[in-house]
């Protein structure tokens, strides 16, 4: 078959009808993911080029508090752009210092010095590249609305981006077709999990099955989870970053227990469904576990799509529009007998919210509350003063809710001193090696336990 020619994949629906869609076999990866990866691969070469204006990237760094841990690790290890990184972060620090002072002295803390919806600049560039790649795909599909073809290759996050710009009725048409794609992927996983896993991961946003890193060793090693008060005087880490790193390891331990003890039926309580946490699950080192987790994520994606379709039907009904041609009512399954009901209920669970993301969100609030409680005591404030302090990302999170008469001024002065020292180190041409890495982590840190993940 000539390269690039699509091939048919068939699957049987629950009612016996045949599902068909087109999956181009030459390049079975999401085109938006490919565009985003290309933009991300060259992002630092572009913004830290010798002729690139420092003010532009410095403004983004100061407004968005640097880069996410994924891009931050890449930048911290990038010796090629060390000088430009130092200059940019020094300029960003200059922008932050007066705003930090103003936010501390405002009695009601109304003048927050960073927007609440912060985005990693590199992630934003990847998202913009994906959106640009989706524009011609959306235009071609709108002309025919025929079986999805190239659109069937989109991962679920980029498919959501694709449909977000469609009118209501065509959006429902696209979601209906994408449900068929998910059904085929689910049936492939049921028939042959090993063979179906690459396609399932592609729908989650992966170009290939992830390789194992050190996460399995961390979980198997049983790293002790230190209380936050024991980390305050650590000179190298943000205590809230470390607490969240410990919570992440704890979640991985729970996930491993759930997949090891299948009879307990608790996998849905720990299962991830976002790209980043499915990657973390892959680091447990068992392809059969990853297949089960991916299958659960696919089921959740399908259920979300069905809920979106139901909402679109309601919108069309309220507008007195007839039911569209693509509408297919959901068929209720017959109740299982008592002998098999428990087994089916366990196997048919799905996850609508990533439990890894939920664990991190809970850990952030718990760690922040514990940190602020400790700061009421002189002993713990002294410990923090001898330690690293907070990364700016977590400082921004706790500062608005800190006590305005005691904790907020203390944190403001402490981190003003830290930023002034960082600014001076970055301005020194003969400064200590690794100062650029320290700057990246000072803005938006990550735990030491996960810095090589």
pLDDT in tens, 101-157: 877 766 555 455 555 667 899 999 999 999 999 999 999 999 888 776 778 889 999
Distance CA 165, CA 176 (A): 16
Considering only residues 99 and 369, tell me which one the structure prediction assigns the higher pLDDT.
369
Among residues 279, 125, 285, 265, which one has the least CA distance to residue 219?
Answer: 285
Q: Determine contact, residues 445/393, Cβ cutoff 8 Å.
A: yes
Phi, psi of 49, rounded to the nearest 5 degrees: -65, 155
Instruction: Evaluate whether 395 touches 408 at the Cβ level (below 8 Å).
Output: no
Which pair of structure tokens corresponds to residue 201? 């991961």
**What local confidence, expressed as pLDDT, does residue 89 receive?**
95
User: Please, are residues 359 and 243 in contact by the beta-carbon 8 Å criterion?
Assistant: no
Segment 319-331 shows an average pLDDT of 68
Of the candidates 163, 167, 127, 180, which has an alpha carbon nearest to the alpha carbon of residue 19? 180
- Which residues make Cβ contacts (< 8 Å) with residue 39, sequence separation at least 6? 125, 126, 128, 129
Measured CA to CA, the distance from residue 53 to residue 64 in angstroms comes to 18
> What is the model's pLDDT at position 17?
38
pLDDT recorded at residue 451: 45
pLDDT at position 313: 86
Minimum mean pLDDT range among 71-80, 197-206, 313-322, 342-351: 342-351
Higher local confidence (pLDDT), 291 or 114 = 291
Give tens-digit pLDDT for 188-234: 988 888 888 888 888 988 766 665 554 555 555 555 578 899 999 99
- Measured distance CA(381)–CA(53) in Å, rounded: 40
Strands 18-24 and 6-12: antiparallel
Q: Which residue has the tokens 């009901």?
A: 341
Cβ atoms 244, 313 nearer than 8 A: no
- DSSP classification of residue 405: T
List, in sequence order, every residue forming a beta bridge with 23; answer none if it has no partner.
7
Of the candidates 180, 114, 171, 117, which has an alpha carbon nearest to the alpha carbon of residue 147? Answer: 180
Q: How far apart are CA 93 and CA 419, in angstroms?
A: 7
Q: What is the pLDDT of residues 168-187, one digit of tens each?
A: 989 999 999 999 999 999 89
The pLDDT score that the predictor gives to residue 333 is 52
How far is it, in rounded angstroms, from Cα 316 to Cα 176?
A: 15
- Predicted confidence at residue 319, as pLDDT, reads 72
pLDDT tens-digit series, residues 5-46: 333 344 333 333 333 344 444 446 889 999 999 999 899 999
Cα-only R_g, the chain: 25
pLDDT of residue 443: 92
pLDDT at 342: 32
Nearest to 376 by CA among 413, 402, 415: 402
256 and 284 in contact (C-beta within 8 Å)? yes
Find out whether 171 and 163 touch, Cβ atoms under 8 Å: yes
- CB of 150 within 8 A of CB of 298? no
Mean pLDDT, rounded, of the chain: 81
Q: 308: closest CA among 185, 189, 401, 175? A: 175
Q: How confident is the model at residue 453 (pLDDT cuts 50, 70, 90)?
A: very low
Buried b (16+ CB within 10 A) or exposed e, 407-443: bbebbbebbbebbeebbebbeeeeeeeebbbbbbbbb
Please give the structure tokens belonging to residue 360.
């991190």
CA distance 293 to 278: 8
Q: Is this model's pTM higher than 0.75 or not?
A: yes
């Amino acid at each position: 078959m000539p390269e690039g020619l699509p091939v048919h994949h068939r699957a049987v629906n629950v009612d016996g009808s045949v599902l068909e869609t087109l999956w181009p076999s030459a390049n079975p990866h999401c085109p938006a993911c490919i565009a985003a990866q290309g933009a991300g691969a060259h992002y630092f070469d572009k913004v830290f080029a010798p002729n690139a204006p420092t003010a532009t990237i410095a403004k983004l760094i100061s407004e968005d508090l640097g880069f996410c841990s994924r891009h931050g690790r890449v930048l911290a290890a990038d010796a090629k752009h060390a000088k430009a990184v130092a200059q940019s972060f020094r300029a960003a620090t200059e922008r932050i210092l007066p705003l930090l002072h103003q936010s501390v002295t405002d009695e009601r803390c109304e003048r927050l010095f960073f927007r609440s919806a912060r985005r990693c600049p590199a992630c934003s560039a990847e998202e913009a590249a994906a959106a640009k790649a989706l524009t011609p795909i959306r235009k071609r599909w709108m002309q025919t609305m025929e079986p999805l073809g190239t659109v069937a290759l989109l991962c679920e996050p980029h498919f959501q981006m694709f449909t977000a710009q469609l009118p209501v009725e065509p959006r429902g048409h696209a979601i209906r077709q994408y449900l068929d794609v998910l059904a085929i992927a689910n049936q492939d996983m049921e028939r042959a999990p090993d063979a179906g896993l690459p396609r399932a991961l592609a729908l989650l946003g992966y170009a290939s099955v992830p390789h194992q890193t050190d996460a399995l060793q961390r979980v198997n090693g049983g790293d002790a989870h230190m209380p936050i008060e024991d980390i305050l005087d650590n000179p190298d880490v943000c205590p809230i970053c470390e607490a969240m790193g410990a919570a992440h390891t704890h979640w991985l331990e729970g996930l491993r227990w759930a997949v090891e003890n299948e009879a307990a039926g608790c996998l849905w309580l720990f299962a991830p469904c976002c790209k980043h946490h499915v990657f973390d699950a892959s680091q447990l080192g068992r392809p059969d576990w990853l297949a089960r987790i991916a299958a659960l994520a696919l089921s959740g994606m399908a259920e979300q799509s069905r809920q979106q379709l139901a909402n679109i039907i309601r919108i069309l009904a309220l507008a007195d529009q007839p039911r569209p041609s693509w509408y297919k009512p959901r068929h209720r399954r017959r109740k299982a007998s008592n002998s098999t009901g428990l087994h089916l209920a366990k196997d048919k669970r799905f996850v609508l919210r990533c439990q890894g993301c939920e664990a991190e969100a809970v850990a952030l609030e718990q760690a922040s509350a514990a940190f602020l409680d400790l700061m009421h005591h002189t002993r713990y404030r002294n410990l923090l003063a001898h330690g690293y302090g907070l990364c700016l990302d977590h400082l921004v999170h706790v500062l608005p809710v800190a006590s305005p008469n005691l904790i907020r001024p203390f944190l403001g002065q402490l981190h003003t001193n830290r930023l002034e020292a960082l600014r001076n180190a970055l301005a020194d041409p003969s400064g200590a090696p690794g100062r650029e890495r320290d700057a990246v982590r000072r803005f938006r840190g990550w735990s030491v336990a996960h810095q090589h993940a």
